[in-house]
Structure 1
Amino acid sequence: MASSRINNNLSHRSAAYRAALEGTSQSIETFRTFWREEGVKPLDKRGDTVLHFLAIYGNVAAFTLLLEEGLVNNENLKTKNVKGDTALHEATRFGQKCIAEIMLSREKELVFESNNLGETPLFIAAACGKKEVFTFLENLNSDCMMRRNDGCTILHAAVIGECYSLAIRILESYPDLAGKRNEKGKTALHLLAEKPESFRSGSSYTFKVLGRKPVIPLRIIGIIIYSCISEFYKE
């Protein structure tokens, strides 16, 4: 009987996973049934719930249904996986702005939830280069000066993720971040210097990686240096 129960549970979870992925009217009904029986129980070893999967795949119809029928409450929306990520973190990571809008229309405090590394959804947006979601979260009074547990800022995150156009946008809006150092004492400029393969140096190595690595715009270096000089004179 125990094995039969385990098999049934696995079958229910597999069906819920497919329902989150497909988004058809039939799958939504399957999903509704699962939610009423299982709620926010994890579907996998990562601790992801059906809400995480709905966010990842951008299943707006199912997410809206759950909220409209009152099946999901604010505490459900704050449920985290083993890495401390909420469904909003995942929606941000995969650029699912519509899901982020739906979640934050119900619970605005989600924007301040941090994962185990101290990353808010805004930090994830910067790290993954999701400009639309970043701007949306920024306009909701997200803490743009926040730091991850290791001291990295959203500017560090954008540079580490090689999301240089977003890094420029962040620099222009928050020039003070240029001089901020992480726990290792490194600014965003230090991190850029550690990415020589992204510069157009004309070396044979550059030609080897050209097209596979984002090229660092010289503009970002100029902005960082200018901002750091400004900070120096402020001190």
Structure 2
Amino acid sequence: MEEIAKTKKMEEDRDRMSQDDVLAFNLYKNTMTGEWGNIVKMYEEQKFSAIYARINASGDTALHVAVSIAPEEIVRQLIRVITLHSEPSLRLTNNEGNTPLHVAASAGRLNMCILLAKVDVFSGLPNLEVHQDPFRNKLGETPLFLAAFHGYKPIFLYLHFLLLEASDKDLDSVNPAYRRNDGETALHCAIRWEYFDVAFEILAKEPNLAYFVNEVGITPLHLLASIHVEELEHETVHKDLIDSVVKELHESFENDNITDEFPKNYGTCIQFYQMLQNMARLGME
């Protein structure tokens, strides 16, 4: 009898797994064809099975995919179903440790970030600080970090206000939200990809990041200086030459003719370099 019971249980488990596989495939198929209404229906009917289903090799849920490409109203409906049945499921991670909020921030979808972040912050769920798990992926990146990494200033500003200033006033404990496991900061990334408007905002919110080094000992100031070198002559340039260019560009700004003489974004780069340079000098005094 015991052996029969074990066999029956194994068959039930196999059937359940088969049903889950079919559900995951159907969710995947409908995300690929844009049949979002079907996905909402499956969430409503299957509830936990649909919410937790991993639909591709990356370990994404249907919500991960939806926040990156689906219409806003669809995402609203999915979030409504999830919050009715399993609110913490909004933080389910894929194989890279990314939550749907990470995905929305990387995709530059401000409204999706607002929908997800507001539910998390105001729902009373534990561990709201973005520098704690589960707001850090396997690389240690927060949604805030990814917004800066991809140059999405409105998302960066929103997440900084909502997920940092609204929940944590201790600047020492805020810094990890800007820094991933390898020591690279959001400021390093914004400068490297020449998102200087985002870099300005980061520096205004977290001025101490100007002195942070990554795993190879590079500060944002070093990184910016290397960008200047490439744009000036594509060869090694001494500090006195950089300073002379800074002075020349400052005069050009006053004459309002910088856009005709220098590459796109270079004027902003120079201004930002001056800011970091002044901060570095103050730090040495």
Q: TM-score, normalised by structure 1?
A: 0.79
Distance 1:161 1:29 in 2: 41
Deviation (angstroms), 1:168: 2.1
Deviation (angstroms), 1:18: 3.6
Q: Is the 8 A contact 1:95 1:133 kept in 2?
A: yes
Counterpart pick for 1:182 among 214, 217, 236: 214
Instruction: Compare the two structures and name the one with the higher helix fraction.
Output: 2
Consecutive unaligned residues in structure 1, runs of 5 or more: 204-209
Q: Which has the larger radius of gyration?
A: 2
> Cα deviation per residue 1:120-173 (whole Å; 9 max; x = unaligned)?
111001100111100001102426522211112221121233312211222233
Q: Is the 8 A contact 2:79 2:90 kept in 1?
A: no
Consecutive unaligned residues in structure 2, runs of 5 or more: 1-13, 122-127, 165-172, 236-261
Q: Quickly say closer, same or farther: Cα 1:141–1:232, change in 2 above 3 A.
A: farther
Matched, 1:57 2:69: yes
Counterpart pick for 2:175 among 134, 140, 145: 145
Deviation (angstroms), 1:35: 5.3
Q: Is the 8 A contact 2:105 2:146 kept in 1?
A: yes
Q: Quickly say closer, same or farther: Cα 1:77–1:110, change in 2 above 3 A.
A: farther
Matches within 5 A, 1:137-176: 137-142=159-164, 144-146=174-176, 147-176=179-208
- Of 146-155 and 8-17, the range deviating more from structure 2: 8-17
Amino acid at match of 2:271: R
Q: Quickly say closer, same or farther: Cα 1:51–1:135, change in 2 above 3 A.
A: same
Q: In the alignment, what sits opposite 2:30?
A: 16
SS at match of 1:145: helix
Q: In the alignment, what sits opposite 1:224?
A: 276
Q: Is the 8 A contact 2:90 2:99 kept in 1?
A: yes
Deviation (angstroms), 1:92: 0.4
Q: TM-score, normalised by structure 2?
A: 0.66
Matches within 5 A, 1:88-107: 88-107=101-120
> Cα deviation per residue 1:50-109 (whole Å; 9 max; x = unaligned)?
111111115321222233344552321111111111100011011111111111222122
Give identity over the alignment, percent.
26
Give the alignment's Cα RMSD to 1 decimal. 3.2
Q: Is the 8 A contact 1:159 1:191 kept in 2?
A: yes
Q: Is the 8 A contact 2:187 2:209 kept in 1?
A: yes
- Of 131-140 and 184-193, the range deviating more from structure 2: 184-193
Q: How many residues of Structure 1 are paired with residues of Structure 2 in the alignment? A: 223
- Of 216-225 and 29-38, the range deviating more from structure 2: 29-38
- Of 88-97 and 186-195, the range deviating more from structure 2: 186-195
> Cα deviation per residue 1:178-229 (whole Å; 9 max; x = unaligned)?
11111211101222344468625499xxxxxx98x96472111111111111
